[in-house]
Amino acid sequence: MSWLVTGGAGYIGSHVVRAFASKGIDTVVFDDLSSGRRGFVAEGVPFVEGSILDGRLLESALAEHDVHGVVHLAGYKYAGVSVQRPLHTYEQNVTGTAALLGAMEATGVSNLVFSSSAAVYGTPDVDLVTESTPKRPESPYGESKLIGEWLIADQARATALAHTSLRYFNVVGSGTPEIFDVSPHNLFPLVFEALLDGRTPRINGDDYATPDGTCVRDYIHVADLAEAHVVAAERLAAGEPVEPVYNLGSGDGVSVGEIMRAVAEVTGIAFEPEIAPRRTGDPARIVASGELAARDLDWRMRHTLADMVRSAWEARRAAS
């Protein structure tokens, strides 16, 4: 038996596949390569190229590879751009999830770990976000992830589906030099590309009510995130109880200024970031509690900020 990882050729998905392999659990990757890379798929792992909207292909992959459960990461993940592409975002993230659920029901696959997002919370008005913090998504992306959670919960009430949703915050770092974050919108890639191009990285606002005036966010290492997926999958497969949702957060947070200083130290490139005006809607601080995930999914921060920066930088340099 194996686990199907949709989006398994992506930055996060490929780490999840490797985390499964470290536990001796077989996986199958399903990806349309719209943002993933074929080279990120570990050697020997079965690969099915196709759209998450293709229910028949999903059914075929589930049946052919004797799939026992699914980790669903496939989708359109660019929150800011989703405002300009709402229909595409909903099609990929909502219709795609519905297609997957239909294929799972048709083939009798009843275990699901869903990749959700901190974007479901929007701009929280609390210092520490918990799973019960009100959900107020502010983009089609965040809305689509929340609807995905609802779809899964409804399907579980109607069928024997066992599931949990993992809400990510800011995922960084690399667990292996062959994989790096290819997103054109995330902080680490933006900073690294600026340095590699000889440009000065930029901070949006330094007058927030935080220790150094820059925004504080929750950054977690991608390898830690991947491990949590495997534990969640193992619990589902064993019939052990899980919560419907878990925040994967640090409980502390790191400022953008701290990240810039860590990047300068790790890379050996001295720079003073440019200070740009605040971006509209950016809250001063978003940090999440990971207590529930620590209790059930062996969730913990195994990597320091320096580890996160160093591993990400080394992986990006290896790709040059």
Instruction: List, by residue number, the catalytic residues.
Output: 141
For the four alpha carbons of 166, 170, 174 and 180, in that order, the dihedral sign comes to positive
| Three-point CA angle 181, 230, 160, nearest 5° | 120
29: left (phi over 0), alpha (psi -120 to 50) or beta: beta
- Calculate ∠ Cα 297-303-309, nearest 5°: 135
**How far, rounded to the nearest angstrom, does the alpha carbon of residue 279 sit from its chain's CA centroid?**
23
Residue 21 CB partners (closer than 8 Å, separation 6+): 27, 42, 45
Rounded to whole angstroms, the Cα distance separating 245 from 164 reads 6
Cβ proximity of 116 and 153 under 8 Å: no
Separation of alpha carbons 237 and 244, rounded Å: 15
Cα Dmax for the chain:
57
**Phi, psi (5° rounding) for residue 203?**
-110, 130
